[in-house]
Structure 1
């Protein structure tokens, strides 16, 4: 339940509106420091102005969630921290009860996002870090999804390129810590998945069209080897499999690769 439902535009003196202890103005409105216990069991302890929460305060929900920070006209507005019942936490800027501006969101699994928000979703520039792999996405977000330009940073390589709705689409490249690079362009290709039902499922997944396996002096040294952490001297470490925010796994070898016999025009890569 939104904390804005407390006692909006209601007469505070009615017994069914909960209890209040604190300062009032000449009109009898809550004004200054006070404590309120709502009929639903939520509590608020903080500043009021002309009957509404304004200034610093702490709101505790009966479901164990709580907000500590700035209020304006009964809405979270300014800097504040929200602790959610599932263990996640947001610390940052609020505008009219919505996450907006710069903020850090820590998820229950340990992942966290540090960046810009707009109307309660990731939007603008930001970095999403994956707890289980140590990988990161750093770049642009649009309405909660990885979009436009960005890079995925893994243990021994990174991908730099264009994204659309959490998927790599358009020109991009893999850069490995041994100096190898893989340039190409991602396209959405249909993939048919046969099931036990009379119908088949058609999914679209990115497919990399590349001019050559690698840019490290040997066509025999492939993208697969580099992604597996192999060098000419042997293994270099485990393959990284970062999980996208809410969208399965993304790896450099998680998409079909097509090596062209004739290299395309590389201008602008």
Structure 2
């Protein structure tokens, strides 16, 4: 069911409203029979997208409201969250930063609503990866993350004016003999303190400090 403009070939073209066979609705711009330009698409399940389209795909700037109450506002490429955008999760957490293939990827900031803690740093395919800072209420950790966990050299910086230097070490895990293969529980990296100092400038060990 369609009500709107058409071109000389009879294709949907210009502004129009459509009721799709699955119960979804679209109101917006068409070009040669395809959703292209600005439009609003309402899903039967309660989700809603309003923004740019290109040849029936979300492409450009747009806002997507999900059925669970979460929301994404930002860049889209070929129906994928890609570029820069902000995601408000159903639990109140937020992520603001770079995306690729629908996943957090690049540089971004994730804020945990329950604790107020904030992760500022790198992401790889949706997982925390690379140099980063984890900021808490009265202290913060500066170091490197690997597969979502801190690993290697870093430091805790306390608001009272001191720093605790050290490194996160991955404990060796002894393999147990098992009759059948079962997934082993991953062991959390352990923090090993090397020294406590006053506040000092610091860069990850594999990054050169700027020349004076």
Secondary structure of 2:82's counterpart equals strand
Which residue of structure 1 aligns with residue 191 of structure 2?
A: 208
Larger-gyration structure (1/2): 1
Task: Specify every segment of 5 or more residues in structure 2 that has no aligned partner in the other structure, as ranges.
Answer: 175-181, 199-207
- The one-character-per-residue Cα deviations of 1:127-170 (angstroms, maximum 9, x if unpaired) are 00111111100011111111000000000000000001110011
1:80-102 CA-to-partner distances (Å, cap 9, x unmatched) read 00000000000000001000111
Question: Which of residues 71, 79, 86 is equivalent to 2:61?
Answer: 79
Aligned to 1:130: 112
Partner of 1:196: none
Instruction: Determine if contact 1:191/1:205 at 8 Å carries over to the other structure.
Output: no
Matches of 1:79 and 1:203, distance apart in 2: 39
Q: TM-score, normalised by structure 1?
A: 0.69
Aligned: 1:43 with 2:25:
yes
Would you tell me which structure has more strand in proportion to its own residues? 2
TM-score by length of 2: 0.87
**TM-align CA RMSD:** 2.3
Aligned to 1:63: 45
1:180 lines up with 2:162 in the alignment: yes
> Displacement, 1:120?
0.7
Q: Normalized per residue, which structure has more helix? A: 1
Question: Does 2:101 align with 1:119?
Answer: yes
Whole-angstrom CA distance in 1 between matches of 2:78 and 2:184: 43
CA apart distance, 1:172? 0.7
1:93 corresponds in structure 2 to 75
What are structure 1's unaligned runs of at least 5 residues? 1-18, 193-198, 217-267
Secondary structure at the counterpart of residue 215 of structure 1: strand
Deviation of 1:190 after TM superposition, in Å, equals: 4.3
Verify: 1:164 aligned to 2:164, yes or no: no
